[in-house]
Amino acid sequence: MTFGAGMPPLLLVCDTPTLQRRVQRYLRRMYDEIDEDDLKILVTNRELLHEASEDEAMWTAVGEDENELTRLADVN
């Protein structure tokens, strides 16, 4: 069994959008060492979480386009 196989995505909620960008940069460097099929990491911030409707796109997947927001329901 490989690391992360069958695991749900790891969700991180940052206090601010600035902290979110810093966390994403750090994780992106680390993510190069992890097989992306093994672990999916999604990041958002409290502001987006507070303002978003129930099923709105508010998550950014580490290792993908930082400007693309994803709905949690669309994550495999």
Tens of pLDDT, residues 12-44: 999 999 999 999 988 888 877 766 566 788 999
Segment 51-65 shows an average pLDDT of: 85
- Determine contact, residues 40/60, Cβ cutoff 8 Å: no
Give this prediction's pTM: 0.77
Spell out the long-range contacts of 52-60 with Cβ–Cβ below 8 A and sequence spacing 24 or more.
Answer: 59/11, 60/20, 60/24
What is the pLDDT at residue 4?
Answer: 47
All structural domains of the chain with their residue ranges: 10-74
CA 68 to chain centre: 11
Segment 34-58 shows an average pLDDT of: 83
